[in-house]
């Protein structure tokens, strides 16, 4: 619940997760409302490894809206940010007009101070904007006492943010209405549904991507015939198949769909004019390693997917995780020791057979992977009740700034 402190400052802190799409969202049919050309489906990653933390403070003493991201003050005039603030305030006014006392917590006319921190690289293709806007919208909703499906609001900050409002396996239905009211996220299964599923984030580069997702999508919609074919003819069937694979915990079907959809997304980027290159040589080596590994065992044990960046996301089952991590360590030997190379959930060591190493058919690429984050499916956003965890001090100013 909101707390009253110094100078009548009301403050709420929440966290929200990263999500990684296995059926990709790429392209908008309405750029103003952020309505996608196709539905998508993602896995919400565990917040112990990847999360955004946001504190929002409100006070009559604040002179203007202000925001700090990862210790640096940001321009509050960003149109997407303003849109989310306006939408939340509109929902509050609408609810108060109905006489609902639950939303009568604070005045919507008071200025806000927002402080947000990611515990992972920002703008490196790790869905930082999705977690960030989901966390912002969720925190604002708790501050103002607004509930209901917030995905319509979060979607207008960053399309895939609507999927980060839920844990586990989440679909974003593209919807049909022109006002976007039916373009919403829904949970397909909870984070506890498939406990054996494990996720590895292979951080190849933490640099900001050369072409942002927003401009990349716009160019693809304008120039790629493959994008339209994918949206109309491919994704609807894949969504049905993926939902079934998740519900049945059919890893082979889940993995094949995941890899095919990742490949087609990047084919769409290449089909864009001028072409967009998000993958690099190390990304291609990871793809080769995964296919060689699966061929060695004559079954699909591991899957890759790549968002708009070179970093790979690997899906596998717990029983195959130690061997595959050992394989990554062998073919992408790091300068650091194993403890610094693999972060997050612990992974047991394993031995590699000579047959397996021979069947991978590639030379080791030292330092190709900077580090690995080991994680799993996790829950949606949550409120941090401990006031010591606020990112803002009692006066509404950041505790830590760069």
**Residue 401 included in any domain:** no
- What would the mean pLDDT of 117-145 be, rounded to a whole number? 84
- What would the mean pLDDT of 326-355 be, rounded to a whole number? 92
How sure is the predictor about 178, in pLDDT bands with cuts at 50, 70 and 90? very high
H or E element in which residue 382 lies = strand 382-383
Q: How far apart are CA 53 and CA 46, in angstroms?
A: 13
CB atoms within 10 A of CB 101: 9
Same domain, 246 and 294: yes
Quick one: pLDDT at residue 210? 75
Model pLDDT for residues 64-86, shown as the tens digit of each residue: 999 999 999 999 998 999 999 99
Quick one: pLDDT at residue 120? 76
Same domain, 76 and 215: no
Q: How far apart are CA 73 and CA 398, in angstroms?
A: 10
The domain total for the chain is 2
- What would the mean pLDDT of 15-25 be, rounded to a whole number? 97
CB atoms within 10 A of CB 337: 8
- Tell me: pLDDT of 402 over 70: no
Phi/psi of residue 376, nearest 5 degrees? -155, 180
Same domain, 230 and 186: no
Same domain, 46 and 155: yes
Same domain, 172 and 205: no
Report the CATH number that the domain containing residue 273 is assigned in CATH: 3.30.70.890
Q: Taking a C-beta distance cutoff of 8 angstroms, is the pair 188, 243 a contact?
A: yes
Same domain, 120 and 247: no
Instruction: State the number of CA atoms in the 13 A half-sphere of 273 facing the CB.
Output: 5
Report the CATH number that the domain containing residue 136 is assigned in CATH: 3.30.230.10
Same domain, 41 and 188: yes
Same domain, 221 and 147: no
Mean pLDDT (the chain, rounded) = 92
Strand bridging mode 312-317 / 302-306: antiparallel
Same domain, 94 and 144: yes
Quick one: pLDDT at residue 190? 98
Cα dist. 86→42, 136, 157, 276 in Å? Answer: 27, 13, 11, 33
Q: What is the distance, to the nearest Å, from the Cα of residue 144 to the centroid of all Cα atoms in its chain? A: 25
- What would the mean pLDDT of 312-331 be, rounded to a whole number? 98
Give the residue from 6, 38, 43, 4 showing the smallest Cα distance to 22.
43
Same domain, 206 and 167: no
Same domain, 180 and 201: no
Quick one: pLDDT at residue 7? 60
- Tell me: pLDDT of 109 over 70: yes
Quick one: pLDDT at residue 102? 52
**Residue 246 included in any domain:** yes
**Residue 402 included in any domain:** no
Quick one: pLDDT at residue 305? 98
- What would the mean pLDDT of 364-380 be, rounded to a whole number? 95
**Residue 400 included in any domain:** no
261 or 213: which carries more pLDDT confidence? 261
- Tell me: pLDDT of 396 over 50: yes
**Residue 65 included in any domain:** yes
Quick one: pLDDT at residue 127? 62
Quick one: pLDDT at residue 5? 46
**Domain that includes residue 206, residue range:** 197-375
Quick one: pLDDT at residue 124? 47
For tokens 């990349």, the residue is 216
Quick one: pLDDT at residue 97? 79
Quick one: pLDDT at residue 207? 73
- What would the mean pLDDT of 238-263 be, rounded to a whole number? 98
Quick one: pLDDT at residue 4? 43
């Amino acid at each position: 619940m909101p707390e009253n402190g110094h100078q009548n400052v009301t403050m709420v802190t929440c966290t929200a997760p990263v999500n990684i799409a296995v059926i990709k969202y790429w392209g908008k049919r309405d750029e103003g409302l952020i309505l996608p050309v196709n539905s998508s489906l993602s896995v919400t990653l565990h917040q112990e490894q990847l999360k955004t933390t946001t504190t929002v403070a409100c006070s009559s003493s604040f002179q203007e809206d202000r925001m700090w991201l990862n210790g640096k003050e940001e321009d509050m005039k960003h149109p997407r940010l303003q849109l989310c603030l306006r939408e939340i305030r509109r929902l509050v006014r609408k609810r108060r007009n109905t006489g609902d006392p639950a939303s009568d917590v604070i005045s919507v006319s008071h200025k806000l101070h927002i402080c947000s921190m990611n515990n992972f690289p920002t703008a490196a293709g790790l869905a930082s904007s999705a977690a960030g806007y989901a966390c912002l919208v969720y925190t604002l909703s708790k501050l103002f006492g607004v509930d209901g499906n917030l995905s319509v609001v979060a979607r207008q900050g960053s399309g895939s943010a609507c999927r980060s409002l839920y844990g586990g396996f989440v679909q974003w239905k593209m919807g049909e209405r022109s006002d976007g009211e039916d373009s919403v996220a829904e949970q397909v299964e909870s984070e506890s549904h498939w406990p054996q599923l494990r996720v590895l984030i292979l951080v190849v580069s933490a640099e900001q991507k050369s072409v942002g997702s927003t401009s990349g999508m716009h160019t693809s919609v304008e120039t790629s015939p493959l994008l339209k074919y994918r949206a109309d003819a491919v994704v609807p069937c894949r969504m049905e198949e993926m939902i079934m694979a998740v519900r049945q915990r059919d890893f082979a079907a889940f993995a094949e769909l995941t890899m095919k959809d990742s490949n087609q997304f990047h084919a769409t980027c290449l089909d864009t004019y001028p072409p967009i290159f998000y993958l690099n040589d190390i990304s291609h080596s990871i793809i080769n390693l995964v296919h060689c590994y699966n061929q060695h065992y004559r079954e699909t044990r591991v899957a890759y997917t790549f968002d708009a960046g070179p970093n790979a996301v690997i899906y596998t089952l717990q029983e195959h995780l130690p061997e595959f991590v050992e394989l990554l360590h062998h073919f992408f030997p790091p300068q650091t020791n194993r403890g610094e190379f693999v972060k997050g959930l612990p992974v047991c060591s394993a031995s590699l057979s000579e047959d397996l190493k021979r069947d991978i058919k590639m030379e080791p690429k030292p330092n190709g992977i900077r580090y690995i984050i080991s994680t799993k499916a996790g829950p949606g956003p949550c409120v941090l009740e401990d006031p010591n965890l606020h990112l803002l001090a009692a006066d509404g100013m950041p505790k830590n700034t760069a």
